Structure 1
Amino acid sequence: MPTWLIVVIVVVAVVVIGAVAWLVVQESQRKRLQRQFGPEYSRAVQESDSPRAAQRELAERERRHRDLDIRPLSASARERYTQHWGLIQEKFVDRPAGSLDEADDLLVAVMSERGYPTEGYDQQLSDLSVRHSRTLEHYRAAHETHRRHAESALSTEELRSAMVHYRTVFEDLLTDQAEPRHGTGNRTAEDRTDDNRATENRGPDVRSPEHTGALGGDRRGAHERNGDR
């Protein structure tokens, strides 16, 4: 066999092996991102020029997230926020619009205490998508209702639905107890004992019958706010 033919065969084999290895890596990356981002993966693909562009965007979100100092809430903080949420729900009957404003503010406060930047709504979505992709549609729905209500008063039922969406995201952020980026797992015994206390004292459920009827006080909040925080 001529030497040149052997060289050609070797080069072709190297190219084929390299191509197969690249495809394997790409497929592994795709599956990993699908597991990590869940429904956000499909959304990113739909909104991008190509699946590869979507994968690059999601990988960039992961890199940014790794640089954030995301930390779990202490047991006392979870209880404090849970009690605050219960008070907001109690106010919903008489002040649905004001309660929606407070629910949005409380959610942002929890994000901030967890270590998430809160400088803009779009960035919030991007950062939350890494660990909270499965409740992100609830945040989008609640935020959109909040924005629309700032422009034109919506029905109490629409506000009630938004409160349910806010609560879903709120509970997800409250109960996700990932260790801090530089953490060493040094949670106290009290924190571990009180892990489930945040689920208590939630106050009346906004989904309960007494909150779904013709509620009075469906008026605008005391302050106008930018819907795209």
Structure 2
Amino acid sequence: MSTGAIIAVVVAAVVVVAVVAVVAKVASRRAHLRRTFGPEYDRTVSEHPRREAERELLAREKEHAELDIRPLDPQARERYSAQWRQVQERFVDQPAPAVEEADRLVTALMAERGYPTEGSHEDKLRRLSVEHASTLDHYRKAHEVRGRDGASTEDLREAMVHYRSLFTDLLGGDEHDRADHRDEGHRTGERCAVDAHQHVSR
């Protein structure tokens, strides 16, 4: 084999290795983003070209890494849980104000965890999406109902349930605490359904 042919083979091999490396890097990054963002990855990709969407998600990760996110201590978790119970009780007679209060309580909890809360609702979604992607759509739906004129009591009940999902996720705690809050979240939905029915029937 001539020297020229050998050089051509070597160059082709280098190119193939480089292409394989790039493909593997892209695949690894994509798998990482899917694991991290879950349904938020699919949502973002459905709204933007894939490469643009992935750049956006990587930017969110970088921004999140610069935040001082901290867990709540047990006393703070209990305090917020007690406040949520008060909001829930208020829903019986004042559904719309209770939903407003639920939104403020979620925002206060975000701030205590270390999330900046200034800016638009979309800014909050971006900041939460890295660690709380699984409950992010609940926040979107609750916000949508809250901004709707003439929302029915049933709509407001659903908003409370959606807020509860994110609230529980933000509350954190060990696995036992998480299980307790999930069970309480299901009971919240059931109680709010009964309360809403009673409220409408009055």
When normalised by structure 2's length, the TM-score is 0.90
The structure where helix makes up a greater share of residues is 2
1:207 corresponds to 2:190: yes
Taking the TM superposition and a 5 Å limit, the aligned residue runs for 1:40-59 are: 40-49=40-49, 51-59=50-58
SS at match of 1:131: coil
> Equivalent pairs: percent with the same residue?
48
Gaps spanning 5+ residues in structure 2: where? none
The answer on whether the counterparts of 2:74 and 2:173 sit within 8 Å (CA) in structure 1 is no
Taking the TM superposition and a 5 Å limit, the aligned residue runs for 1:1-229 are: 1-49=1-49, 51-119=50-118, 120-148=120-148, 152-175=149-172, 199=181, 205-208=188-191, 209-215=193-199
SS at match of 2:190: coil
CA distance in 2, matches of 1:23, 1:36: 20
Letter in 2 for 1:140: R
CA distance in 1, matches of 2:116, 2:173: 17
Aligned CA distance change for structure 1 residues 16 and 206 (closer, same or farther; 3 Å) = closer
TM-superposed deviation, 1:206: 4.8
When normalised by structure 1's length, the TM-score is 0.79
Letter in 1 for 2:83: H
The answer on whether the counterparts of 1:107 and 1:170 sit within 8 Å (CA) in structure 2 is yes
Gaps spanning 5+ residues in structure 1: where? 178-191, 219-229
Aligned CA distance change for structure 1 residues 174 and 26 (closer, same or farther; 3 Å) = same
The answer on whether the counterparts of 1:36 and 1:130 sit within 8 Å (CA) in structure 2 is yes
The answer on whether the counterparts of 1:164 and 1:207 sit within 8 Å (CA) in structure 2 is no
The Cα RMSD (Å) is 2.4
The answer on whether the counterparts of 1:160 and 1:207 sit within 8 Å (CA) in structure 2 is no
